[in-house]
């Protein structure tokens, strides 16, 4: 048995060391929410029906956090943040889920998916780093929300020709 006078300082020392190592721990930012956003996209666009082998790896996270970076059409930076989604010409059917927001996303390409429908959500404005948004040749419709255009300050390229989008 340890004497009480020795035990308390040792416990305090261990707690202090644990606190410092917790400060040095850098969790993968945005990872759980980006997995959920990608899952919502997969589900809302009927991922199981995408063109053959175009849904490779989707919905599989057995390798743990960051495994979404190996999913077909998904690009990540070295910190495992999703920075790009290119699902052009995949046979997407359904809608873009309005809550699908990945703050680190730089590009979203869903063009040339003739069965992709619905409207463009104003929630896309929360993607602070979005630089390119390709929606052309889809059945997306409606009026683009004003707040979407005015708030996406990093947006450099936006295509929506051959859609039913106005604005």
Q: Work out the average pLDDT over 133-140.
A: 97
Range in 51-65, 100-114, 153-167 with the lowest mean pLDDT: 51-65
Ramachandran sector of residue 72 (left: φ over 0; alpha: ψ -120 to 50; beta: rest)? beta
Range in 38-47, 125-134, 143-152, 157-166 with the lowest mean pLDDT: 143-152
Q: Helical H runs in the chain?
A: 4-24, 31-44, 146-151
Q: Which of 35, 37, 49 is nearest to 100 (CA)?
A: 37
Contacts of 91 (CB under 8 A, 6+ apart): 49, 50, 51, 54, 113, 115
Helix (H, G, I), strand (E, B) or coil at 153: coil
pLDDT of residue 62: 57
pLDDT of residue 51: 81
Residue 131 predicted with pLDDT over 90: yes
Residue 127 predicted with pLDDT over 70: yes
Residue 147 predicted with pLDDT over 90: no
Q: Work out the average pLDDT over 5-15.
A: 59
100 burial (CB, 10 Å; 0-12 / 13-18 / 19+) is buried
Q: Work out the average pLDDT over 109-138.
A: 94
């Amino acid at each position: 048995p340890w004497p009480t006078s020795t035990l308390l300082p040792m416990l305090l020392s261990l707690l202090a060391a644990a606190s410092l190592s917790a400060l040095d721990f850098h969790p993968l930012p945005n990872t759980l929410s980006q997995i959920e956003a990608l899952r919502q996209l997969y589900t809302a666009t009927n991922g199981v029906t995408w063109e053959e082998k175009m849904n490779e790896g989707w919905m599989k996270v057995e390798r743990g956090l960051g495994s979404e970076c190996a999913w077909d059409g998904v690009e990540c930076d070295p910190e495992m943040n999703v920075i790009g989604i290119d699902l052009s010409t995949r046979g997407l059917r359904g809608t873009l889920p309005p809550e699908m927001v990945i703050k680190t996303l730089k590009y979203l390409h869903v063009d040339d998916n003739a069965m992709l429908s619905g409207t463009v959500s104003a929630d896309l404005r929360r993607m602070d780093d979005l630089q390119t948004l390709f929606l052309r040749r889809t059945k997306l419709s409606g009026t683009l929300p004003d707040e979407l255009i005015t708030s996406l300050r990093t947006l450099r390229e936006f295509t929506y020709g051959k859609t039913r989008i106005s604005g």
